[in-house]
């Protein structure tokens, strides 16, 4: 349990540190509980719903990960994301297998292209592309 708690703290710290970098659009946090009725008889209104958090991931490959035009390694390379960089993928799809992993992430946050999930660690849920 201790290691799990520390991992959560480290992830939360990384999210907070990267939130101002311009790479991440937003970071989701824990929702505040809606308190019950207050003395005096009236219940507090629930806060307005926050916008959905952008999915987040982090590059874990030592040399970084290539951004490709399509979800395969033979398509044009558009750039390189360095190790440790946080990304905000829009969605994922099945593509060419890389090291046994067929998932590819479509980049978001103003970046174009696809990266192999083999070299990216999820920090939150990424939906499948339509």
23-82 pLDDT, tens digit each: 333 333 333 344 445 555 555 555 555 555 678 999 999 999 999 999 999 999 999 999
pTM reported for the whole predicted model: 0.60
Residue matched to tokens 């440790």? 84
Which H or E run contains 114? Answer: strand 114-116
What lies within 8 Å, CB to CB, of 41 at 6+ separation is none
pLDDT at 11: 42
């Amino acid at each position: 349990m201790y290691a799990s708690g520390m991992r959560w703290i480290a992830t939360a710290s990384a999210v907070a540190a990267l939130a101002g970098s311009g790479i991440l659009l937003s970071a989701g946090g824990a929702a505040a509980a809606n308190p019950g009725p207050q003395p005096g008889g009236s219940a507090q209104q629930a806060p307005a719903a926050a916008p959905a958090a952008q999915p987040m991931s982090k590059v874990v490959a030592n040399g970084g990960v290539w951004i490709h035009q399509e979800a395969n390694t033979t398509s044009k390379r558009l750039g390189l994301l360095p190790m440790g960089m946080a990304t905000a993928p829009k969605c994922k799809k099945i593509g060419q297998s890389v090291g046994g992993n067929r998932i590819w992430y479509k980049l978001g946050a103003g970046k174009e292209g696809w990266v192999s999930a083999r070299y990216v660690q999820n920090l939150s849920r990424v939906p499948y592309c339509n």
